[in-house]
Amino acid sequence: MEGDCLSCIKYLMFIFNFFIFLGGALLLSVGIWVLVDPMGFREIVAANPLIFTGVYVILCLGALLFLLGFLGCCGAIRENRCLMLFFFMLILIIFLAELAAAILAFIFREHLTRQYFTKELKHHYQGNNSTDVFTTTWNAIMTTFDCCGVNGAEDFEESLYHLLNPAKMVPEACCQRNHLLGDVPFVSREDCLTGSMLIRHKGCYSAVVEYFETYIYLAGALAIVVLTIELFAMVFAMCLFRGIQ
**What is the spatial distance between Cα 210 and Cα 208, in angstroms, rounded to a whole number?**
5
Per-residue pLDDT of the chain (245 residues; tens, 9 = 90+): 456 677 787 888 888 888 888 888 888 887 787 777 655 555 555 555 556 666 777 788 888 888 888 888 888 888 788 888 888 888 888 888 878 877 876 777 666 678 888 888 898 898 876 677 888 888 888 888 888 888 888 888 888 888 888 877 778 778 765 544 444 444 445 556 443 455 667 888 888 888 777 677 776 777 787 778 778 888 888 888 887 76
Instruction: Note whether 206 and 181 are within 8 A (CB).
Output: no
CA 37 vs. chain centroid, Å, equals 21
**What is the spatial distance between Cα 218 and Cα 98, in angstroms, rounded to a whole number?**
17
| SS percent in the chain: helix, strand, coil, step 5 | 75, 0, 20
pLDDT at 100: 82
Q: What is the crossing angle of helices 114-124 and 133-144, to 10°?
A: 120
CB atoms under 10 Å from CB of 189, counted, come to 19
**What is the spatial distance between Cα 123 and Cα 127, in angstroms, rounded to a whole number?**
12
What single-letter DSSP state applies at residue 179?
A: G
If we measure between CA atoms, which residue out of 168, 169, 101, 170 comes closest to residue 142?
170
